[in-house]
Amino acid sequence: MTEKAIFIDTSKCIGCRACQVACKQWWGLPAELPAENVAGSVQFQYKFSGSYQNPGDLSHQTWNLVRFKEEAGSDGKMKWFFTPDRCRHCKNPPCQEGCPVPGVIVKDESGGVYYNVEKCGDCAKQCAEYCPFGIPKFDGDIRRAFKCRFCIDRVHEGKTPACVKTCPPGAIQFGDKTEMMDKAQARLAVIQTDNPEANIYPGFDYNNFWLLLYAPEKYSLAQADFTRKEKARLAAARTSRKPFTVAGFFKPLTYLGMLGGLGLAFFRRVDAGKNPEGKIDRHGK
Amino acid sequence: MTNHWTDLANVDYFLVIGSNPAENHPISFHWVTKALENRGAKLLVVDPRFSRTAAKAHFYAPLRSGTDIAFVNGMINRILENDLYNADYVKYYTNASFKVNAAFRAYMEAHTPFPGTFPGLNTSANPATYDKTAWGYQVDPNTGIPLKDDTLKDPDCIFQIMKQFFSRYTPEVVEKITGCPQATLMQITDEYAKSGAADKAGTIMYAMGATQHTYGTQNIRAYGILQMLLANIGIAGGGINAMRGESNVQGATDQGILYHYLPAYVPSPTNTQQSLGIRAIGTDMVSTAGSKVVTSAASNFSNLSVAVNDILVFYAGNNTGNGIKITSVDSANQLTLQYAVNKAGTGQSFMIIRAGSYLAANIPVTNDPQSINWWHNRSKYLVSMLKAWWPNQVNVTAGVPTGAETAYNYLPKRSGDYSYISLWEAVHAGTIKGLVAMGMNPAVGSPNSNRTRAALDKLDWMVIMELWETETAQFWKRPGVDPATINTAVYLLPAAAMVEKEGSVSNSGRWCQWRHKAVEPPGMAKDDLWMLNQFYKRIKSRYQASGGAFPDPILNMNWNYEGTEGIPEAAKVSRELNGYYTADNTVVQNFTKLTYTGSTACGNWVFSGCFASADKVEQNMMDRRDNMDTSGIGLYSNWAWCWPLNRRIIYNRASVDPKTGLPWDPSRKVVQWSTADAKWLGPDIVDGGATNSGIVTESSYRLPFIMNNDGMGRVYGSFSLADGPFPEHYEPMESPVENILHPAQPTSPCVYKYPGDTNMQLNVFGDRSKYPIVGTTYRVAEHWQAGAMTRNLSWLAEVQPSMFVEMSLELAAEKGIANGDQVRVSTIRGSIEAYALVTGRLKPFQMNGQTVHQIGMPWHYGYAGIAKGDSANILTPSVGDVNTRIPEFKAFLCNVEKI
Ligand code: SF4
Ligand code: SF4
Ligand code: SF4
């Protein structure tokens, strides 16, 4: 397989969050609806994020999150930035360096970086500590890390990732990396005439890159911080780490099914049993 | 839409007003984005709130909710003042050159400044109505053809009257009304006016932000006028494009779901139209050009009791499309007409329509030989529909329909106002005792919804077909209500969702696309057709068993949709919509084959052609899936099927220069007239007859706006609307300010006022001293309509979990509200609680020395589902648009406070 890349053209993103939902749908990830705890309240049932950005951050159940940020420009004109945030699929993934268990973190021939859930386990979460963008998130209950998987299963079947397939304006594109780089560069040249700050983020050393109209901070996208890795290394050396064990390892069904049974296209079925009221879906499955 | 979704890729200038397509029609951005990327198109967004669409805009103009007319009239004024309009198009294709009755100008001159009412207002009626005589065209007394001045200089011609009328909307005045800075208005106008060039295209994308006002229809009129002036109708990348809010709401409208229409835009009869009105038909009318006397070789008019004021309409022959009033019945076979016929001819087909009948009221007439006046065919469409519904009543005897009156008598006659709000008032009054709600959630979607909920309490019974137990389905146990006090019998029928049933879905662009069933519905859920079939069969058997007040329409109805094992099939319905020849039961090719004699049956004339690939050849055209485009302008003519006649861009005859018959813009060819072939060539199907010349100087030339009896695009509505020939700025029923144009007439004079009910706050409007803030409602990308489809899905609940109200930093500071606080919003009708979303995307308006705050909120929430919240419609008023009665959801007065 030729090396692939995801190119997110923010000039085209309309913040509709179809990609965010498509990611959850494809991977069968449950919704996060933190309770507000106002007794008996219909209107104040859930915690309010104060923004269109929901849930508030990436998590082990949210691998692709559309970030929203607004700003009144110096010219008095309003700006509203939105773009999906997720794993950048680094060339030499720092997260992989951090992981003590061989074979958990794989840099695939497609360019995608995915985590083998079955092998992932009870460690000190170094992947998250090492990642310069703070992407992997840990599920405290089952003690495994999760993040965007480049829809590796789809890609190996010759399909585009779920988020790419869904995006209405075609803001997320997928294809051979060289082709994506060419597209990004050509588009940058056009966009730059009206947007002098336009840039490619984080760069072409990644298999997921963005065309941004402004600096990444404007979109709440983290700048790569490679010192995190060093800090984590030092911190790990200071503390005695809990040893990793595979024994007694329980693999919940949800995650077992993830890489295998992927005929999960029909949304209501995937969502079964996961809503906060404990209801099952209409089909009773 | 006059155009269609994929056509958005052909646009150079987008004017997005009264809509928010990035959020509410995200797929439209698939095509918008193409135009932006490939053509360098410009996106202009006008919205009270800086929306996700505005975030993508090149130019953004804020305006106070409810002031669109002032804004667009300001654009029109600037375009007229600075000669930015397309002079050729205006001259050839609009009624700008027509002369209006002198009384109109006399009134306007005598009433300066304009008082806010046009001539002829009768205020003693409720609603107030206009006698529109003075609004009419001047006509030639001999021919009845409207008088024109092609130089556009005559003081009575519409262009001059128009210039005068719109001149009041100067940038200064528009700023004072809308709160939009003058400079922004001028910038948007100048940018959009560039679309008036022959090789540029501009489109208007609108939705409910435009329509949901007491003057909503006039908002759209203003858009129409703007598009006419800029030559944007009929062309690729142009048009006036209503983005429908639901995947099949276009289909619902086409099938007659509106309260005043039968299917296919055939008006439903009123109780003053007791007869259908076909007095006589024949094929032997003889006329002499320029003579007012016509004769018939065979018809004996005295025997047929043809009377003065009946109307003679020509259906085939030299005078096709013309209709003229009869002024005397001279002898058994000779009539004198009000106007002279245009052309000599023998053996012409004709119909004589009874004065005062349904057809007399609903067949527009013209005596202009260049006007196709398509609606003269309405008689064919109604008779064919009656034949489809009651085939044994409507028969053909020697070429004459018999029994059509009997079938017509089966149709219910409207005797009052059956619009949405009025229906709920009838429930309140106990006139309506039962409700069948199919995929409808009025407990959330109705204006003043506390009142609607209280009305539900009064029903004897309710049948609701739904995917979930919605707010309406569980109104009897809603918060604050003791179920023991509700006596309504509620039946919740589980319904199949869109992918669990088969049938056609008609999108905003009129594309009718067949959808196959992907999965079986769960449990006992059934599709709508199955349920309706059962409804019909069971009602019929009850009538058969025990009779009833008027059983004939039910017992005689044609109802033949069952296939194997008694399961009704959507394709059988489509075949009936397409229509068939009654003699041999083969399908008609399309509606041009329909007759008024009963020889054809057709359930919906605009759908005629959806189930035939050629005459008598059956094919489900809606199921076509060829996604190759050979047109060069993205017509995708072999993908699905589109009404009418698979014509993708309507009024496309206006896309050519009538001096040559060639496209205004050769790079965007929709159709073109070929002199060599003496016919129109594609890629699209031409509007108005393939062999009628496109060159204005030729005798077979026909005008492009075939659905108007004057054949023209109307920059002045001589009769069409209830509330005036031009759009005038009125304030919403609840407004924070005076109407600075005419303080004595602040709101539309023709608003229907419901009888007051102080208890339930009907016809009571909030005072600006108590409720100083403008409120508006909208949808968000993440939820859909009244929320049942999305608030019941955890992933969609997750992305927009709670009811919120958006307000400016300035208002929040004034009220001591921080982002995320719990707040109460109240109007005179009720109050709701929600989270505050404090944002720079809303800004207070500075208008006429006054600061006006505006807040906005989604209307999706209710007390059922996963994501719950208070319903914004508890706040909105039950008052409707003058012409359509759509409620004024988009502008009302409220207050907000921290809880
Ligand atoms: S972005 Fe972070 S998680 Fe993704 S590959 Fe790079 S280091 Fe690993
Ligand atoms: S590539 Fe797949 S896993 Fe990654 S964000 Fe897109 S949908 Fe989610
Ligand atoms: S689906 Fe596309 S347009 Fe929508 S938020 Fe995601 S990237 Fe943006």
Distance from Cα B784 to the centre of ligand 3, integer Å: 18
pLDDT digits (tens, 9 = 90+) for B302-319: 888 999 999 999 999 999
Residues 6+ apart with CB under 8 A from A253: none
Domain for residue A279, yes or no? Answer: no
Domain for residue A283, yes or no? Answer: no
Determine the distance in angstroms separating the CA of B864 from the nearest CA of chain A, rounded to an integer.
9
- Residues A152, A54 within the same domain: yes
pLDDT band at A30 (very low <50, low <70, confident <90, very high): very high
pLDDT digits (tens, 9 = 90+) for A197-244: 999 999 999 999 999 999 999 999 999 999 988 888 888 777 654 444
Domain for residue A285, yes or no? Answer: no
User: Would the pLDDT of B472 be above 60?
Assistant: yes
- Note the pLDDT of residue A41: 80
Question: CB neighbours (10 Å) of residue B325?
Answer: 18
Mean pLDDT of chain B: 96
Which of A74, A80, A83, A188 is the mutation pick for testing B, counting most B CBs within 10 A?
A80
- Note the pLDDT of residue A270: 30
Contacts of B468 in chain A (CB under 8 A): 282
Which domains does chain B show, CATH number per domain?
5-100+153-246 (3.40.228.10), 278-356 (2.40.30.180), 653-704 (no CATH), 773-898 (2.40.40.20)
- Residues A166, A262 within the same domain: no
What the block records as the tokens of B689 is 């007859």
Protein residue closest via CA to atom 6 of ligand 3: A19
Question: Which residues face A7 on adjacent strands?
Answer: A173, A209
Distance from Cα A141 to the centre of ligand 3, integer Å: 31
Locus of tokens 């039968």: B262
A7-11, A237-241, B642-646: least confidently modelled range: A237-241
Cα–Cα distance between B313 and B322 in angstroms, integer?
6
pLDDT band at A252 (very low <50, low <70, confident <90, very high): very low
Cα–Cα distance between B507 and B1 in angstroms, integer?
9
Protein residue closest via CA to atom 4 of ligand 1: A87
Residues 6+ apart with CB under 8 A from B807: B817, B836, B837, B838, B839, B842, B853, B855, B896
Contacts of A42 in chain B (CB under 8 A): 479, 863, 868-870
- With CB atoms and an 8 Å threshold, state whether A70 touches B29: no
Q: Is the CB of A236 under 6 A from ligand 3?
A: no
Cα–Cα distance between B471 and B59 in angstroms, integer?
40
HEC secondary structure over chain A: CCCEEEEEECCCCCCCCHHHHHHHHHHCCCCCCCECCCCCCCCCCECCCCCCCCCCCCECCECCEEEEEEEECCCCCEEEEEEEECCCCECCCHHHHHCCCCCCEEECCCCCEEECCCCCCCCCCHHHHHCCCCCCEEECCCCEEECCCCCHHHHHCCCCCHHHHHCCCCCEEEEEHHHHHHHHHHHHHHHHHHCCCCEEECCCCECEEEEECCCHHHHCCCCCCCHHHHHHHHHHHHCCCCCCCCCCCCCCHHHHHHHCCCCCCCHHHHCCCCCCCCCCCCCCC
Classify residue B516 by burial, with Cβ atoms within 10 Å: 0-12, 13-18, 19+: exposed
User: Would the pLDDT of A262 be above 60?
Assistant: no
The distance of Cα B499 from the centroid of its chain, to the nearest Å, equals 28
What the block records as the tokens of B840 is 């720079």
Cα–Cα distance between A188 and A9 in angstroms, integer?
9
Cα–Cα distance between B857 and B894 in angstroms, integer?
12
Cα–Cα distance between B605 and B810 in angstroms, integer?
54
- Note the pLDDT of residue A271: 33
- Note the pLDDT of residue A239: 61
- Residues A253, A212 within the same domain: no
What the block records as the tokens of B852 is 């006006």
Residues 6+ apart with CB under 8 A from B54: A78, A80, B45, B47, B60, B841
Q: Which residue of A has its CA nearest to B40?
A: A190
Q: Is the CB of A17 under 6 A from ligand 2?
A: no
Contacts of A26 in chain B (CB under 8 A): none
User: Would the pLDDT of B418 be above 60?
Assistant: yes
Determine the distance in angstroms separating the CA of A261 from the nearest CA of chain B, rounded to an integer.
19
- Percent of chain B with pLDDT strictly greater than 70: 100
Average pLDDT (B608-623) is 98
Question: Which residues face B313 on adjacent strands?
Answer: B323, B351
pLDDT band at A256 (very low <50, low <70, confident <90, very high): very low
Domain for residue A45, yes or no? Answer: no
- Note the pLDDT of residue B122: 97
What the block records as the tokens of B305 is 């009791």
Contacts of B795 in chain A (CB under 8 A): 21, 24-25, 31, 267, 271
Protein residue closest via CA to atom 4 of ligand 2: A148
Which of B802, B821, B823, B825 is the mutation pick for testing A, counting most A CBs within 10 A?
B802
pLDDT band at A255 (very low <50, low <70, confident <90, very high): very low
CATH code for the domain in which residue A101 is found: 3.30.70.20
What the block records as the tokens of B663 is 């496209």
- Note the pLDDT of residue B433: 98
Cα–Cα distance between B476 and B548 in angstroms, integer?
31
pLDDT digits (tens, 9 = 90+) for B91-125: 999 999 999 999 999 999 999 999 999 999 999 99
CA atoms within 13 Å, Cβ hemisphere of B106: 5
- Residues A12, A116 within the same domain: yes
Q: Is the CB of A93 under 6 A from ligand 1?
A: yes
pLDDT digits (tens, 9 = 90+) for B177-207: 999 999 999 999 999 999 999 999 999 999 9
Question: CB neighbours (10 Å) of residue B513?
Answer: 19
**Which among A199, A230, A261 is the end of a domain?**
A230
User: Would the pLDDT of B578 be above 90?
Assistant: yes
- With CB atoms and an 8 Å threshold, state whether A52 touches B479: no
Question: Which range of residues forms the domain containing residue A103?
Answer: 4-34+50-230
Closest CA to A62 of A82, A85, A45, A89: A85
- Residues A216, A99 within the same domain: yes
Distance from Cα B509 to the centre of ligand 3, integer Å: 24
- Residues A145, A16 within the same domain: yes
- Residues A98, A215 within the same domain: yes
Domain for residue A194, yes or no? Answer: yes
The count of residues in chain B is 899
- With CB atoms and an 8 Å threshold, state whether B519 touches A266: yes
Closest CA to A144 of A126, A121, A128: A121
- Residues A131, A249 within the same domain: no
Q: How many angstroms separate the Cα of B105 from the Cα of each of B101, B120, B721? A: 8, 13, 19
User: Would the pLDDT of A246 be above 60?
Assistant: no
- Residues A79, A101 within the same domain: yes
Cα–Cα distance between A9 and B37 in angstroms, integer?
11
Contacts of A78 in chain B (CB under 8 A): 50, 54-55, 60, 840-841
Cα–Cα distance between B43 and A14 in angstroms, integer?
13
Structural domain total, chain A:
2
- Ligand nearest, relative to CA of residue A160: 2
For residue B369, say if its preceding peptide bond is cis, omega within 30 degrees of 0.
no
Contacts of B832 in chain A (CB under 8 A): 43
- Note the pLDDT of residue B303: 87
Domain for residue A112, yes or no? Answer: yes
CA atoms within 13 Å, Cβ hemisphere of B405: 12
- Ligand nearest, relative to CA of residue A63: 2
Closest CA to A214 of A113, A103, A86, A70: A70
- Residues A251, A165 within the same domain: no
User: Would the pLDDT of B532 be above 90?
Assistant: yes
Please state the atom number of ligand 3 nearest to the C-alpha of residue A83.
8
Cα–Cα distance between B655 and B639 in angstroms, integer?
23
Classify residue B814 by burial, with Cβ atoms within 10 Å: 0-12, 13-18, 19+: middle
Q: Which residue of B has its CA nearest to A51?
A: B837
Determine the distance in angstroms separating the CA of A68 from the nearest CA of chain B, rounded to an integer.
10
Classify strands B854-858 and B773-778 as parallel, antiparallel or unpaired.
Answer: parallel
Question: CB neighbours (10 Å) of residue A217?
Answer: 12
Cα–Cα distance between B826 and A94 in angstroms, integer?
54
Domain for residue A281, yes or no? Answer: no
What the block records as the tokens of B145 is 């053809």
Is the Cβ–Cβ distance between B820 and B826 less than 8 Å?
A: no
Domain for residue A282, yes or no? Answer: no
- With CB atoms and an 8 Å threshold, state whether A12 touches B37: yes
- With CB atoms and an 8 Å threshold, state whether B52 touches A24: no
Protein residue closest via CA to atom 2 of ligand 1: A131
- Residues A118, A83 within the same domain: yes
End-to-end CA distance of chain B: 44
Protein residue closest via CA to atom 3 of ligand 2: A148
- With CB atoms and an 8 Å threshold, state whether B804 touches A276: no
- Residues A258, A140 within the same domain: no
Q: What is the CA radius of gyration of chain A?
A: 20
Confirm whether the ipTM is greater than 0.90: yes
Q: How many angstroms separate the Cα of B425 from the Cα of each of A4, B153, B448? A: 62, 50, 12
Distance from Cα B695 to the centre of ligand 1, integer Å: 66
